[in-house]
Amino acid sequence: MNLSSLFHCLTLSFTVALAATGCGEATPLSAERSADLPARPPAATPLADLSDPSALGDEDLEALRQRRGDFVAALLTYRPVIGRDRAAHFTQPTWSEPDAAPVIFHLLRDASVPEAERAALAQRLRTNKGDWTGAALALFQRESSEQVRAALIASLAHAEAPAIAQASVLGLADPSPMVRDWATFGASRVLANHPDAPGAATLVDALIACADDDDDQVRAGTFRALGFAQDPKALDSLVAGLRDRHASVRLSALTAIRAVAPTKAVTLAEAAGLADDEDARVVRAFERLDRE
């Protein structure tokens, strides 16, 4: 199993753990933003650039060495453990302390650190209680490793809404389907919980551009996020998704249309042939919709 496959296993287990947030892959549209609400586009507040390249220097690390030399030395000795998913994990609780962030970024920039370990460190940012989002956004834009970029986007999906929006827009344009898939997860979190966040309208445009992505998981995630957005301009893309070759994508498109255009959902689904779909999950979803 290569490093990319190992990390993909990690992301699958991580997604299961995150499903409880209300935006996981198998989670339906939230009651707060259901099809019973009128569709409305996100506010057109510009997307802010929150990246902070200056935070990637070692000045903060050197200052930290002066204050807490033993703390830095201990962190630099920590090694990851291999979990049941056969991926590396840094399990030490010390990584969650705000002062650990400069050490994490120091190691993330160190080319001698194995790629899998750097990805594990990037995932630990999610639990760090410091101010790390600006540095993570800046690092994402210069990082060459697919694994590390995916881990950065996964962590940024738990930042404040404006940072998630910027990270998701960047991630949706990434060449890696793994990164784009994580970007749709972050987009769902923003649009479900903070539809008026700065950059939400830009994020919807980026999602619509991914509606015909080559990767079926990315397309399914894109339609889930567009369902949370409830933006009518996404309807054409969602209707096209009803005829996607993958059942999971058709199901996501149908669920999203129920939120975006509830009065048209049954008619559009019938026109796409979902009443007789080859996948039982899609047929059941159509039947539930038809009974409403």
Residue 14 confidence class, pLDDT cut points 50, 70, 90:
very low
Residue 90 confidence class, pLDDT cut points 50, 70, 90:
very high
**pLDDT score recorded for residue 44:** 58
Which whole number is the average pLDDT over 216-225? 98
Q: How far apart are CA 124 and CA 146, in angstroms?
A: 17
Alpha helices in 78-141 (DSSP H): 101-108, 115-124, 133-140
Of the candidates 195, 186, 189, 188, the one whose C-alpha atom is nearest the C-alpha of residue 37 is 195
Q: Is the pLDDT of residue 170 over 80?
A: yes
Q: How far apart are CA 4 and CA 250, in angstroms?
A: 27
Residue 140 confidence class, pLDDT cut points 50, 70, 90:
very high
Task: Classify each residue of 143-181 as buried b or exposed e, where b means 16 or more C-beta atoms within 10 Å of its C-beta.
Answer: bebbbbbbbbbbbbbbbebbbbbbbbbbbbebebbbbbb
Q: Is 101 among the domain residues? A: yes
Q: Is 162 among the domain residues? A: yes
Residue 41 confidence class, pLDDT cut points 50, 70, 90:
low
The conformational region for residue 46 under phi > 0 = left, psi -120 to 50 = alpha, else beta, is beta
pLDDT tens-place string over residues 149-164? 999 999 999 999 999 9
**pLDDT score recorded for residue 2:** 44
Q: How far apart are CA 34 and CA 43, in angstroms?
A: 18
**pLDDT score recorded for residue 78:** 97
pLDDT tens-place string over residues 226-281? 999 999 999 999 999 999 999 999 999 999 999 999 999 999 999 999 999 999 99
- The percentage of the chain sitting over the pLDDT mark of 90, rounded to a whole number, equals 78
- The percentage of the chain sitting over the pLDDT mark of 70, rounded to a whole number, equals 84
N- to C-terminal Cα separation, the chain:
46
The pair of three-digit structure tokens given for residue 128, joined into one six-digit string: 């760090």
The conformational region for residue 113 under phi > 0 = left, psi -120 to 50 = alpha, else beta, is beta
**pLDDT score recorded for residue 57:** 83
Q: Is 44 among the domain residues? A: no
CATH code, domain with 137? 1.25.10.10
- Average pLDDT across the chain, whole number: 87
Q: Is the pLDDT of residue 291 over 80?
A: yes
- Which residue range is the domain that position 87 belongs to? 3-39+49-291
| φ, ψ dihedrals at 175, nearest 5° | -70, -15
User: Based on the structure, what is the number of domains in the chain?
Assistant: 1
Q: How far apart are CA 71 and CA 98, in angstroms?
A: 12
Q: How far apart are CA 156 and CA 139, in angstroms?
A: 12
